[in-house]
Amino acid sequence: MAEDLQKRDERWQLRIRDLNKSFGSQHVLRGVNLDIERGKINIIIGGSGQGKSVLMKHLMGLLAPDSGHIYVDGQDIIGLSDVAIAKIQRKFGMVFQYAALFDSLNVVENIAFPLLERYRLPKKEVLERVRELLDRLDLKLPGIEQKFPGELSGGMRKRVGLARALIDRPEILLYDEPTTGLDPIATQNVDKMIRRTADDFSVTSVVISHDMASTFRIADRIAMLYEGVIVANGTRTEIMAAPHPVLKEFVETSGAVALAGAAS
């Protein structure tokens, strides 16, 4: 089995095995096992404080687990040196909950930041790549390039955050609760954005969410994290039929079944 995991798998890009993490006396992750499908939108759902964000930070190597393994294309990233981790991190892009744009930099500088930090590219080339990406993401507002994050709306900021995550052409995009704090229309726009990004840039998407309605709209695969373990994992239909009581409650209270039914 171990040899299996250390080989690049065509279907599963990320494989998490027995991941454990405690903070003091709090045992947050209690043996998480999960596979993330290549090129698909994988959504991890769960209530607040169930360890979703902690799990996501592990994926990028921002946190080190107490035990367990994470295989990215067959390479275990746990226990690697900082330099090796930095190399793996280039495969990832992360879209933060509130965009986490750098306040002191304008839109172009924010988007160009990963390129300028990672490579010694000429400024002109960087600017070209930023502009091309702004076009592809429909971020065409007069003067937007020179605007600072504080001058942008929440939705705009999210898209600039996405642009920054995409600029280095990642293979895997992580979204941390992308629809939190947005109105229904903005939520739908973000859903579309995630869908389109997954299709246009052919990236593997991992989304952390507690928004069931939008989860059922866009997910290819859904996993539920509850009390530090994955209690259900599968496609939309599999999840709707899953017997786990907490998952059922989650699905029912969100009215997502009705929505999904209406959609099909």
Partner 1 sequence: MSPPPRDTAAVQPRSETPKPFAAVAKVFSPLTGAVAVFGEHVLLLSRAVTWLFRRPLRIRLFFDQMEFVGVGSLPIIMLVGFFTGAVTALQAILALSLFQQQRYVGFGVGISLARELAPVFTALMITARAGSGMATELASMRITEQVDALTTFAVNPVQFLVTPRLVASAVMLPVMSMVFNVVGLVGVYVVSIISYHIDLGQVLALFRHGVDPVDYFQGLIKAFFFGITMATCACYQGLSVRGGAKEVGLATTRAVVSTSVTVLVLDYFLIQVMNVVFPYGGT
* CA nearest to 190, candidates 221, 165, 224, 156: 156
Is residue 98 part of the contact set for partner 1 (CB under 8 A)? Answer: yes
Using CB under 8 A, pick the residue from 20, 39, 100, 155 that binds partner 1.
100
d(CA 76, CA 246): 32
Is residue 119 part of the contact set for partner 1 (CB under 8 A)? Answer: no
Q: Which is nearer to partner 1, 46 or 114 (CB)?
A: 114
Q: Mask of contacts with partner 1, 46-85, x by CB under 8 A? A: -----------x--x-xxx-------------xxxxx--x
Using CB under 8 A, pick the residue from 25, 48, 253, 264 that binds partner 1.
25
Is residue 118 part of the contact set for partner 1 (CB under 8 A)? Answer: yes
Residue-wise DSSP of 80-144: --HHHHHHHHTTEEEE-TT----TTS-HHHHHHHHHHHHS---HHHHHHHHHHHHHHTT---TTG
Residues in the chain: 264
CB of 62 to partner 1, least distance (A): 5
Is residue 102 part of the contact set for partner 1 (CB under 8 A)? Answer: yes
Is residue 148 part of the contact set for partner 1 (CB under 8 A)? Answer: no
Is residue 113 part of the contact set for partner 1 (CB under 8 A)? Answer: yes
* CA nearest to 233, candidates 4, 82, 36: 36
Q: Is 164 helix (H, G, I), strand (E, B) or coil?
A: helix
Q: Is 37 helix (H, G, I), strand (E, B) or coil?
A: strand
Positions touching partner 1 (CB under 8 A) are: 22-25, 57, 60, 62-64, 78-82, 85-86, 89-90, 92-94, 96-98, 100-103, 113-114, 117-118
